[in-house]
Amino acid sequence: MTKHADLLVIGGGSGGLAVAIRAAKLGAQVTLFEPHELGGTCVNRGCVPKKAMWLAAELAEAQGMARAVGFDVAPGTLDWPVFVARREAYVLRARNSYANRLRELGVEVIPELAYFLDAHTLRAGDADYSAPHLVIATGSRARPFGLPGAEFVIDSDGFFKLDALPRRVGIIGGGYIGVEFAGVLRALGAQVEIFSRSGLLSHFDADLGSELEAQMQVAGIGHHARCAVRGVARDDGALWLDCAGHARHGPYDCVINATGRVPNVASLQLDAAGIRVNDRNGIVTDAFENTSAQGVYALGDVNGKVALTPVAIAAGRQLAERLFNGKPGAHLDYRNIASVVFSHPPVGSVGLSEAVARREFGDAVHVYKTRFTPMLWSLAGREGKTFMKLVCAGAGERIVGLHGIGPGMDEMLQGFAVAVHMGATYADFLKTVAIHPTSAEEFVTMA
């Protein structure tokens, strides 16, 4: 016997929960399939526990600066088990909150793996389910290492299973995951080296990667650029990492693979529903999250557009509005999505990089940059400066890209993202009276 609903959602992560909750609020009968913990990667093995670790690292750095400015304190080390217990308790509260919300809204949760029998029928466990609308929101997983010594390497999931601070760490990958882990581990006391094929944060504005590298060098984080990793080996109780054409590097107590993520599609049997994927195994969707199968949609990391939790949530809510609230034009605008890397210090970016802007607007691009020493850093004698950049285009100098690195960048970016999204110009920024003394004022005073 087949069970029927208005909407079937595969995946209980950020995107799946968003579309399920909004659809249920709009009166739809919803069934959600999630064989693991509610909340997906973000809540359980991603942005939430990562931000908790980042906050602990921030406190570790703050101890040193407090002593430098005159406080009679002796910086201490993090009691790892105590902190992890607090972190996991926070994660559990988030999961329970989602479970309670789904129950209140009458969303049926099936704790089973679901896969397609055809475009409108799923099988989960020993039962079949059908609906006129099906959403795939199965997220992504860490990219497998796939080289000799994979058994000695952990990924981002393994990072959150560490029961103590590793003393010596090698990190493979210079993207946002790699630099975030590097900053956290170094601030908490580990010796850290990063290995990457190119510079740091290669998908961001080029100045951000170079500025972050300079800051990480000051912090004592090593970076081996242009390193094609050949494998990892264990020798005399330690781990060693090989780069093509380079000498062996190490020793390390822990090696982390942070080379990106891949869509979770292997178990879905997409062929049975006629759903196309691209050459990166992301599900192909149009601007309205439609797949190649009528009535089947994909959102979040699994469609490979923008792998950010707020993007999945926003796309899910817009899809529910379109399907169940009479808004046929509702869809997410993927332009000018703000993004923060929780490195040390944090990096923020919204809009176009300088390189992309020049490809799009040519000689009509004008760039403004500034560096500034934050007051606390100056008081504490800490080396380094913030870096902020405006990328403007056209005769009116509309701001098409805003980028920065420095303390507080994670919080200040949200408001500036609103201005960029609304089409603010360089002149608009200069007309805005600065808040002094802050780092944020640099965005409205740079010339």
Residue 308 covered by a domain: yes
Residue of 245, 192, 202 lying closest to 222 (CA atoms): 192
- Predicted local distance difference test score (pLDDT) of residue 187: 97
Say if residue 230 is in the same domain as residue 267.
no
Rounded to whole angstroms, the Cα distance separating 149 from 415 reads 45
Residue (of 183, 123, 195) closest to 159 by Cα position: 183
* Per-residue confidence (pLDDT) for residue 68, from 0 to 100: 96
Same domain (yes/no): 25, 156: no
Residue 244 is predicted with a pLDDT of 84
Residue 353 located in a structural domain: yes
Q: Which of 241, 259, 277 is the last residue of a domain?
A: 259
Domain shared by 295 and 400, yes or no: no
Please state the domain count of the chain: 3
Model confidence, pTM? 0.96
Q: Which domain holds residue 130?
A: 2-142+262-324
> What pLDDT score was predicted for residue 322?
98
- At residue 66, the pLDDT reads 97
- CA 133, CA 8: separation in Å to the nearest integer? 6
Judgement on whether residues 402 and 367 belong to the same structural domain of the protein: yes
Q: Where does a domain end: 229, 259, 289?
A: 259
Q: Using an 8 Å Cβ cutoff, are 304 and 280 in contact?
A: yes
In which residue ranges of the chain is pLDDT below 50? none
pLDDT at position 1 = 81
Looking at the structure, tell me whether residues 363 and 248 fall in a common domain.
no
| CATH number of the structural domain spanning residue 295 | 3.50.50.60
Q: Which two tokens stand for residue 358?
A: 């020049």
Verify whether residue 224 is a known catalytic residue: no
Q: Which candidate in 120, 203, 366, 436 is catalytic?
A: 436
* Predicted local confidence at residue 332, as pLDDT: 98
Residue 422 lies in a domain: yes
Q: Which domain-ending residue is among 222, 237, 259? A: 259
pLDDT value for 238: 97
- Tokens 């691009």 locate to 365
Same domain, 268 and 138: yes
- Which has the closest alpha carbon to 336: 356, 363, 366, 361? 356
Are 255 and 302 in the same domain?
A: no
Do 282 and 135 fall into the same domain?
yes
Residue 54's closest CA among 439, 340, 388, 438? 340
